[in-house]
Structure 1
Amino acid sequence: MWQLYLSSLLSAWGDRMWGFAVGLILINITPESLVLSASYGLVSCGTAIMFGSSVGRWIDRTARWKALTTSLILQNSSVVTSAVICVVLLEFKTELSDSLNGFGLILCYILFIIFASAANLASIASSIIVGKDWIVVIAGPNTNKLSKLNSTLRSINLVVLAVAPMFTGFIMNFLSLTAAAAIQAGWNIFSCFVEWTIYKNLFNSHPALARKGAENCVEPFNESYAKRRSKSQNSVGKFFRDWVSYFRHPVRYAGIALACLYMTVLGFDSITTGYATSQGVPEWILGILAGVGAVTGLLGSTSFPKWKIWLGLDKTGLLGFFSQVVCLSLCVFSVWLPGSPFNIPDSVKQERSYYSVGFLMGGIFLSRFGLWIADLTINQILQEEVKELERGKINGVQQSFNQLMDMMKFILVILLPYSDTFGYLIIISFAFICLGMMFYSLYVFRRQSPPSVDDEENPMTVAASSSNI
């Protein structure tokens, strides 16, 4: 499995480097305004919502190797192009603003947003292809092996999430932003060739990857037939039909539960760290807390296979959600502790107290354990219970759903932007986590109940996996 792990490490490293660098680079390009950063985030998120299901549908009707190579090349070439545009903007912004009455600068902004959004879509495609399809085929019928693969890949991602930003920040601090963008472009060129070679060897070493169809199909996937079938269908309304298919699928409640985890400010992102900074928490302490949160998350991801063996998949998910809700209760409690600016009149002066922000950050880093257990559980449910030729479509809609909930979070932050209203964001976030737990519990309950008439008539219903309680 070293080939799969190494390719995932290379891919995650490039993604995390780029995700950290691009925000700082855009702020440096337009320090007087957040319009460019906001436009990039909005378009990137919007395209993922609109085209996630289309990407998934394309994956379903395309042979595995062709789908992977296309997404791999598109993702890396788009990141390289975006990084080159960043270099041009950093070095020649003045010249561009003077050319074509300023249209040259605007054109570069537009091109950057287009290519960066394309890279995000291609990244979604790659994650679905490898994370939701290839590893299921590689693991075969052994669900415990699948759990181990999921756990290791997620642990790699969490380690890279902690280390890659530090490496990128080091480059920016001791070299320059231009050097960071140039190194990013060089890394993606190098990574693309290495990943292609690794995936080619992995593909050749697992003949089952060359077959795509029903679970026991022995004939190669007929790509031309799939394309003709897709073209014969009315293209109008495919987007909505994909979402209808998702909400009719037996995994829908588990998927909704996963999406609810994205509608939260209770994480180590720019929103919560910005709030903590406004409450007087030094940056170095935030860095330590982020590191502790990463370790807690690793404990969850690495212990997931053991919990799955001991409790079964469904109960492991319940454990993850319950643990997360209990830990995040500290965050809700923090809203009314000394030091909280929640609903404090301007005329009232408080003495500096760190009780509130301490409970908030403590609840967040403790909740990482349950978060990644719940995430890995639902991820495996989507792998096991979605038919092979529907994995792309269902997981594409899931990605869009996750992005939609993430966008809702930012909209709420825009509507409640001040420190004294952050308590409302905490309460709303906690409510969505509890809602996610309710939906997941409903999914588990329905799994234990006899199938309903609707489920029996639903052609997408699949047999319950061996991981049932």
Structure 2
Amino acid sequence: MIKTYAKQEVAAASFGLALLYMTVLSFDGVAISYGKTQGLPEDFIGAVRSLTAIIAMSAAVIYRFLVKCIGVRFTGLIGLTVISGSAFLCSLSAFLPGSPFGAIEYFTELTLETWYGNFKNALQHAPINSTATPVYQLIDIDWPTMTVNGKSMLSVLTFFLGLIIARLGYWISYLCITQQMQETIPSHIRGTVSGVQGSLQSFFSVTKDILLILLPDPKLFGLLILASTFCHFGGLLSYCYYLLQTISKHTTSEATIEETAVKLSSKIEDSYEESTLVRDSFKIKA
């Protein structure tokens, strides 16, 4: 199965798509929880999530426009470039004012007992009728100073801005790579290749979940952002390799077709000259 997958022309692009699943840069429960730990009100998070959904739906329209202008392969390159740029923006947020990122401090003070306590708490479920105590008291945002709970919002807002842009790039890339898989993979092995692709995507998604369980502290969320950025750039490089491979292959095919056409033209000219000589010889005899 893996050999069949690897032999496909679109294998590198498909693997690049699978790498995008090892990410915390999606507007799921992880991002919402991170926003709450930074003191953001739920109505603000809900508004940003709605905006993200609208941007994601607009990706289908932008995708069709770009495909008509530059073709499906280069549209995929644009989508992955947008994702990588947004991932860089999210990585930058880990070092901006207001960020809880403190991996060095965390690991310096870390003990096995502390880590096990955090790990155990991460696996516990709150009772259904209980009221959870928030890490920070949720209050309104002070927009003139761009602070919440007296802490700068620059980091978390930059992170959410990166998430919004990332959704646009992800859906453009997903549509492009999926279309190329459908067009290039033979129908009799399409199910096998799709199965391997789904397994790879699940593997990277589960890897992300395991990292979240092992590193549950908000101080370490910056490490998960950096790991996600690394995978996003890996997906871009994998797609660039596919693009160069297909361009080289198509250039070689065009050169072969041109060479064949030249040879065929030469044979036609030779046969025409021979027929002319035969006709002239008959005229002389006559």
TM-score normalised by L of structure 1: 0.43
Give, in angstroms, the shift of residue 327 of structure 1: 2.2
1:250 aligned partner: 9
1:426 equivalent among 210, 225, 234: 225
Give, in angstroms, the shift of residue 450 of structure 1: 3.1
Larger radius of gyration: 2
Give the gaps of 5 or more residues in structure 1.
1-241, 452-469
1:337 aligned partner: 96
What is the CA–CA distance in structure 2 between the aligned matches of 1:335 and 1:282, rounded to whole Å? Answer: 20
Matched ranges for 1:446-461 at <5 A: 446-450=245-249
What is the CA–CA distance in structure 1 between the aligned matches of 2:75 and 2:209, rounded to whole Å? Answer: 30
1:138 aligned partner: none
Q: Which structure has more RCO (C-alpha within 8 Å, separation ≥ 6)?
A: 2
Matched ranges for 1:374-389 at <5 A: 374-389=173-188
2:189 aligned partner: 390
What is the CA–CA distance in structure 1 between the aligned matches of 2:92 and 2:219, rounded to whole Å? Answer: 15
SS in 2 for 1:340: coil
Give, in angstroms, the shift of residue 419 of structure 1: 0.3
Matched ranges for 1:111-260 at <5 A: 242-260=1-19
What is the CA–CA distance in structure 1 between the aligned matches of 2:233 and 2:154, rounded to whole Å? Answer: 24
Q: Which amino acid aligns with 2:212?
A: V
Give, in angstroms, the shift of residue 328 of structure 1: 2.5
SS in 2 for 1:432: helix
1:412 aligned partner: 211
2:56 matches 1:297 = yes
1:276 aligned partner: 35
What is the CA–CA distance in structure 2 between the aligned matches of 1:265 and 1:244, rounded to whole Å? Answer: 30
What is the CA–CA distance in structure 2 between the aligned matches of 1:429 and 1:273, rounded to whole Å? Answer: 17
1:463 aligned partner: none
Q: Is the 8 A contact 2:25 2:166 kept in 1?
A: no
2:87 aligned partner: 328
What is the CA–CA distance in structure 1 between the aligned matches of 2:236 and 2:192, rounded to whole Å? Answer: 24
1:263 aligned partner: 22
Q: Which amino acid aligns with 2:203?
A: L
TM-score normalised by L of structure 2: 0.70
1:222 aligned partner: none
Identity among equivalent positions (%) equals 33
What is the CA–CA distance in structure 2 between the aligned matches of 1:333 and 1:436, rounded to whole Å? Answer: 19
Give aligned pairs, total. Answer: 209
In the TM superposition, what whole-angstrom CA distance separates every residue of 1:130-182 from its partner, at most 9, and x where no partner exists?
xxxxxxxxxxxxxxxxxxxxxxxxxxxxxxxxxxxxxxxxxxxxxxxxxxxxx
In the TM superposition, what whole-angstrom CA distance separates every residue of 1:180-222 from its partner, at most 9, and x where no partner exists?
xxxxxxxxxxxxxxxxxxxxxxxxxxxxxxxxxxxxxxxxxxx
What is the CA–CA distance in structure 2 between the aligned matches of 1:432 and 1:364, rounded to whole Å? Answer: 15
Q: Is the 8 A contact 2:87 2:228 kept in 1?
A: no
Q: Is the 8 A contact 1:257 1:436 kept in 2?
A: yes
What is the CA–CA distance in structure 2 between the aligned matches of 1:355 and 1:450, rounded to whole Å? Answer: 47
2:44 aligned partner: 285
| Regions of 4+ moved over 2 Å | none
Give, in angstroms, the shift of residue 248 of structure 1: 2.1
What is the CA–CA distance in structure 1 between the aligned matches of 2:203 and 2:86, rounded to whole Å? Answer: 25
2:201 aligned partner: 402
In the TM superposition, what whole-angstrom CA distance separates every residue of 1:433-461 from its partner, at most 9, and x where no partner exists?
1100000010010001138xxxxxxxxxx
Q: Which amino acid aligns with 2:45?
A: L
Give, in angstroms, the shift of residue 351 of structure 1: 5.0
What is the CA–CA distance in structure 1 between the aligned matches of 2:165 and 2:73, rounded to whole Å? Answer: 22
In the TM superposition, what whole-angstrom CA distance separates every residue of 1:399-419 from its partner, at most 9, and x where no partner exists?
111111100111111121110
What is the CA–CA distance in structure 2 between the aligned matches of 1:280 and 1:330, rounded to whole Å? Answer: 21
What is the CA–CA distance in structure 2 between the aligned matches of 1:293 and 1:328, rounded to whole Å? Answer: 15
2:282 aligned partner: none
2:235 equivalent among 436, 439, 461: 436
Give the gaps of 5 or more residues in structure 2.
107-148, 251-286
What is the CA–CA distance in structure 1 between the aligned matches of 2:3 and 2:206, rounded to whole Å? Answer: 21
Q: Is the 8 A contact 1:301 1:369 kept in 2?
A: no
SS in 1 for 2:249: coil
What is the CA–CA distance in structure 1 between the aligned matches of 2:224 and 2:179, rounded to whole Å? Answer: 30
In the TM superposition, what whole-angstrom CA distance separates every residue of 1:236-264 from its partner, at most 9, and x where no partner exists?
xxxxxx12211222211011011011010
What is the CA–CA distance in structure 2 between the aligned matches of 1:448 and 1:375, rounded to whole Å? Answer: 20
Q: Is the 8 A contact 1:328 1:367 kept in 2?
A: yes
2:141 aligned partner: none
Give, in angstroms, the shift of residue 360 of structure 1: 0.3
What is the CA–CA distance in structure 1 between the aligned matches of 2:97 and 2:228, rounded to whole Å? Answer: 21
